[in-house]
A and B are shown apart, each in its own frame.
Chain A
Amino acid sequence: MIRLALPYHLRTLAKVAGEVELEIKGPATQRAMLDALEARYPMLSGTIRDHVSKERRPFLRFFACGEDLSFESADAPLPEKVASGQEPFLIVGAISGG
């Protein structure tokens, strides 16, 4: 089970409170995690990564276990503590705008 922390506006959009818990079949990667998220919450499709290119939207960053994972390969294994549910995977919006 993977724990995923969404920014406020995406929690509102998906109508969830607190962290999202996801089960992933196969290797726990960033791509598999986001595929599982979008399958469970279709309204989030396109809000975190581009519909076509699947690249992370530029005003969002990914963090976990005190590390910036924004530029990791989408197919790289997630940190063990994230894959085991000990630590959440954080999706964070840029602090900008008015």
Chain B
Amino acid sequence: MSRVRVLVGTRKGAFILSSDGKRQKWKVDGPHFGGWEIYHVKGSPVDPDRLYVSQTSSWFGQIIQRSDDGGRAWFQPGTPPGEPTTTPDGMPKGESNKFVYDTSPETGKPLTTHQWYDGTPHPWEFKRVWHLEPSLTDPDTVYAGVEDAALFRTTDGGQTWHELAGLRGHGTGSQWMPGAGGMGLHTILLDERNHDRIYVAISAAGVFRTDDAGKTWRPANRGLVSQFMPDPKAEVGHCVHRIAMHRSRPDVLFMQKHWDVMRSDNGGESWREVSGNLPSDFGFAIDVHAHEPETIYVVPIKSDSEHYPPDGKLRVYRSRTGGNEWEAMTKGLPQRDCYVDILRDAMAIDSLDKCGVYFGTTGGQVYASADAGDTWAPIVRDLPSVLSVEVQVLP
């Protein structure tokens, strides 16, 4: 029988939740890196025991951890202890925790400014890695979405990271501004059919697409309407919270925006609203069923000023029609006095049949459904505030 491994990043460490394919009884392992903020943990699709972790701290900066055995042992894939961190001529060698914007004349872009909250120019400053997206074909290649927004890539298993500077420097960067949580690049979608195509999403800038493996980028926000902006239909500036795709149908994208649930049927060329009968179209997480590309999940949040579920009821909403018509999934979820939030990277879906759906809350619960959302049960109730959830199905 298959096994399932849920990778949870929290404000105070990482946790690994394991079960057999029935997904009824769970083992909780952790905390790993206790006391550190773990923004994201994700495994390689081609080598599931290869895990990458974004470990971060306002005090000590960014660390990348890696495991080659499914999380039993961890190491930082940089210079081994005892070896110098500089070359004989004094140049710094790469380190696994070194994310430096590329300002070289050959491959980089000038480190100019983006907009601050008050609209004034603000210099670009690296703060942390929000999201790690391992390559679909190579366990040593990983993309990292960072704050202040930029995309980095390693091709040596996390030892060295290089910016794909064409994104930050493509021309609209000076108009990007941070959302309440910072100006993070939080979503990276890799196209299984066309490896040169990548989508990223940035708060608050919007969606961007490359068709040449990251050299050049263009905004993909037509159809988005954000009333908080001076021009609600501007090319960039939209607070996109999350985008998702089904791997078999990479031209169809779903989006949870600051307000509005949206879809695109043409690779982000244009978007249309599919919020339909949701009780609130504000939220963070969105994901797609493993086997039904038109079945999608969101967790409505009351408003941008009240980051908790409407009416104190924690409800996952499922649409089997690709949006517009939504049904509330409530069995096993608290239906009174619930005031947690579900963050953008805190929902995941496994590939078993029926597919499992998982999400974590700012209250420290991780809920699982082993029947595509029909019924739910908590795997664990009292973790630190959950930042991210990923799931792997293992043989």
Contact = CB atoms under 8 A, between A and B. Distances in A.
Contacts of B76: 43
A46 interface: yes
A93 B82 CA distance: 25
6 contacts: A8-B35, A43-B63, A45-B98, A46-B98, A51-B100, A59-B59
A47 B36 contact: no
A87 B59 CA distance: 24
B60 A10 contact: yes
Nearest to B99: A51
Contacts of B61: 46-47, 57
Interface in B79-137: 79-86, 92, 95-98, 100
Contacts of B86: 39
Given A10-B60, A97-B58, 18 more contacts: A8-B35, A9-B60, A39-B86, A40-B81, A42-B85, A43-B76, A43-B81, A43-B95, A45-B95, A46-B62, A46-B95, A47-B60, A47-B61, A47-B97, A51-B98, A52-B100, A60-B59, A60-B60
Nearest to A51: B98
A7 interface: yes
Given A9-B35, A47-B97, A51-B98, A41 B59 contact: no
A51 B98 CA distance: 7
A17 interface: no
Nearest to A39: B84
- Kindly list the 10 A-B residue pairs having the minimum CB-CB distance in the complex, ordered from nearest: A42-B79, A47-B60, A59-B59, A93-B59, A42-B85, A45-B95, A43-B76, A46-B97, A51-B98, A39-B84
